[in-house]
A and B are shown apart, each in its own frame.
Chain A
Amino acid sequence: MTTLMSFLLKTLAVLEKDAKSEFRAKYALNSILLFCFTCVLVVSFSLRGTVQDTRIVAALLWVILFFSAMTGLSRTFIKEEDQGTMNTLRLVCEPTPLFVGKALMNFALMLVVIIIVTPPFVMMMNVDMAHPMYFAPAAALAALGMSGICTLMSGIVAGARGRGTLYPVLVFPVLLPVFWVAVDATDRALSGPVPWQYSNLLVFLGAFAAASYIGGALLFEFIYSE
């Protein structure tokens, strides 16, 4: 019980630290949102309402979200290495609460981005979100899976050369199952007749999110220790 309490307190402390530093500098959120809005405008301008196929719209939305995650979430641990605070973190926090705290912060960032970017994207692409109540859990679960993987990968590339280009190369194959199913679920939410019959897609995304957090928490220890 004490161990669980200590784990929760440390996780919350990491989350609070990152939330405060993000609230002050708004580095990740600003860069992700600016990137997303630029992409939405570029996509909308180049297509100019010619695309009505919901599959293509869903794919474009997730391509934008994927690459926005690549710009913002890659700095989770690189930031700590650059500022020289990584060793302090090693002294005060065990690997698992640090990983979970950082991943939850990334999850919150992705969630904010999805909430802010999806409505203007759907409007500018001239399609209707037929089933927002199906899209919401699908997007949230996909963001959860993405946050777990992106956080671990950020720890992996923190000590590598050429990490800017290496990061998406490492993340994409591992995130592909989420990407694949999230595009499909978004397509169903935009057009599908009865999306709840496709609840197995949500189960898939939930299982992937759970696997990414459990696997990440177990493996993070080995890249965290020096």
Chain B
Amino acid sequence: MALAGKIILMIWMVMVLWGALRFAPPANILGETARVIYFHVPVAWVSVLAFCVSLYHSVQVLRNRNPMNDIGAEVSARRGLWVCVLATVTGAIFAKAAWGMYWNWDPRETSIVVLLLIYMAYFGLRSSMTDPDRRMRVSAVYAILAFCVMPFLVFVAPRIYFSLHPDTVINFEGESKLLDAQMKMVLKAATLGFTGIYIWIYNLAVRTERLAREREGYDV
């Protein structure tokens, strides 16, 4: 069953690659460079998803103090951080093509940098604590507080300040004005494919982390 899932995911991603590079038509003004959005939008979505999963586990840690939730929170935040780096890099490439600069402190660019800083600080905090119970609680508190700040950056700040980004980040209805049917299809398929890869990696990482903690003598 698991093997079939992996094979389907692999075929799906090959199709996504073909769709992004060949099937989807070039964009009106940006031409071929616009193809980076088939990677940028899905990885940005996956990073948000990973941080939401980490938040869910952090809340659960405070509710029941289960070490498995701590593993879930840490593993998802770590994968989210790497995907967030990918979203930043692909975003910078697209920004160079679209606006002529890799970086210009657009409100959404600012928010992704803050997200990177928050989760780097989160791992700094985790590594500074030796007592596993305190580490679990304190890092969950920090993750929840940091997540509470995100709406100010993601939703409020772009409405106070001018943003170069389109208003619809993960809103396919709104994007219908910007993308044609083939482009939307590829974008949806890529988002689904990258979500599948995240779920696969997340499951693997949780199992590996659990084994590592058991070997170190922690009660998991």
Footprint of B on A, CB under 8 Å?
149, 152, 156-157, 159-163, 166, 169-170, 172-174, 176-177, 180-181, 200-201, 204, 207-208, 211, 215-216, 219, 222-223
- On whether the beta carbons of A170 and B125 are closer than 8 Å, the reply is yes
Kindly provide the distance from the CB of A163 to the nearest chain B CB, expressed in whole angstroms: 7
The distance in angstroms between the C-alpha atoms of A162 and B125, with both chains bound, is: 10
The distance in angstroms between the C-alpha atoms of A176 and B142, with both chains bound, is: 15
**Looking at chain B's contact residues, is the secondary structure mostly helix, strand, loop, or mixed?**
helix
Which residues of B130-146 have CB atoms within 8 Å of chain A's CB atoms? 130-131, 134, 137-138, 140-142, 144-146
Cβ–Cβ < 8 Å partners of B114 in chain A = 173, 176
Of chain A, the residue at the smallest CB distance from B146 is A174
Partner pick for B145 among A152, A169, A177, A200, CB 8 A cutoff:
A152
Partner pick for B142 among A163, A170, A181, CB 8 A cutoff:
A170
Partner pick for A162 among B120, B128, B137, B138, CB 8 A cutoff:
B128
Which residues of B113-157 have CB atoms within 8 Å of chain A's CB atoms? 114, 117-118, 120-121, 124-125, 128-131, 134, 137-138, 140-142, 144-146, 148-149, 152-153, 156-157
The distance in angstroms between the C-alpha atoms of A148 and B145, with both chains bound, is: 11
- On whether the beta carbons of B121 and A169 are closer than 8 Å, the reply is yes
Provide a sorted-by-A list of 23 A–B residue pairs whose CB atoms are within 8 angstroms.
A152-B145, A157-B128, A160-B125, A160-B129, A162-B128, A169-B121, A170-B121, A172-B117, A173-B114, A173-B121, A173-B146, A173-B149, A174-B118, A174-B146, A176-B149, A177-B149, A177-B156, A177-B157, A180-B157, A181-B157, A181-B160, A219-B144, A222-B137
Is B92's beta carbon under 8 Å from chain A? no
- On whether the beta carbons of B152 and A219 are closer than 8 Å, the reply is no
A161-B130, A166-B128, A219-B145 are known contacts. Are A177 and B153 too (CB-CB below 8 A)? yes
- On whether the beta carbons of A204 and B128 are closer than 8 Å, the reply is no
- On whether the beta carbons of A201 and B160 are closer than 8 Å, the reply is yes
Is B97's beta carbon under 8 Å from chain A? no
The distance in angstroms between the C-alpha atoms of A207 and B110, with both chains bound, is: 20
